[in-house]
């Protein structure tokens, strides 16, 4: 995510994916949730999504990032829809699809849940 571009544009709401993501080295912040904090400080409301795949990951989000959320909503995306999006290259570049299918995506319920967090600056 190009944080500076979002801040310069000053939208009312920004959609931010992968809240626990570690940013690229050249990024302003080390973690994506720190980008969200910058957006909130700038008066930009944030809606973010976080996959619940059942896969153990090293990246975590501190409690103080989740606690101020105005709303937490679990949304169940059918596995077939997720796989269709994946295979169409809408989630990862086509060259990463096979690895994603082998390592992260399964058809059990936990792989289909998505956690959506909504933050407002009001």
- What does the DSSP assignment read for the chain? --HHHHHHH--SEEEEE-TTPBPPTTSSSSBHHHHHHHHHHTT-EEEEEEEE-S---S----HHHHTT-SEEEEEE--HHHHHHHHHTTSSS-GGGHHHHHHHT--SSHHHHEEEEEEE---
Cα–Cα dist 57/98, whole Å: 19
Percent of the chain with pLDDT over 90: 25
CATH number, domain of 72, equals 3.40.50.300
| pLDDT of 40 | 93
User: Sign of torsion, CA 66 49 73 57?
Assistant: negative
- Name which of 65, 67, 70 is nearest 118 in CA terms: 70
| pLDDT of 113 | 44
Tens digits of residue pLDDT in 23-72: 888 899 999 999 999 999 999 998 876 655 555 556 677 778 778 877 77
| pLDDT of 20 | 81
Give the length of the chain.
Answer: 122
For 42, the domain range is 3-119
**Overall number of domains in the chain:** 1
Cα–Cα dist 14/85, whole Å: 22
| pLDDT of 57 | 58
| pLDDT of 9 | 96
- pTM confidence score: 0.56
Integer-rounded Cα radius of gyration of the chain: 15
């Amino acid at each position: 995510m190009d944080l500076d571009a979002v801040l310069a544009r000053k939208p009312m709401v920004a959609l931010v994916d992968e809240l626990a993501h570690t940013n690229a080295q050249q990024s302003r912040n080390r973690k994506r949730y720190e980008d969200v904090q910058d957006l909130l400080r700038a008066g930009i409301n944030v809606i973010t999504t976080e996959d619940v795949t059942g896969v153990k990951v090293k990246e975590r989000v501190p409690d103080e990032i989740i606690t101020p959320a105005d709303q937490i909503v679990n949304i169940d995306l059918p596995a077939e829809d997720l796989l269709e999006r994946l295979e169409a290259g809408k989630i990862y570049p086509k060259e990463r699809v096979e690895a994603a299918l082998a390592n992260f995506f399964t058809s059990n319920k936990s792989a289909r849940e998505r956690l959506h967090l909504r933050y407002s600056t009001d």
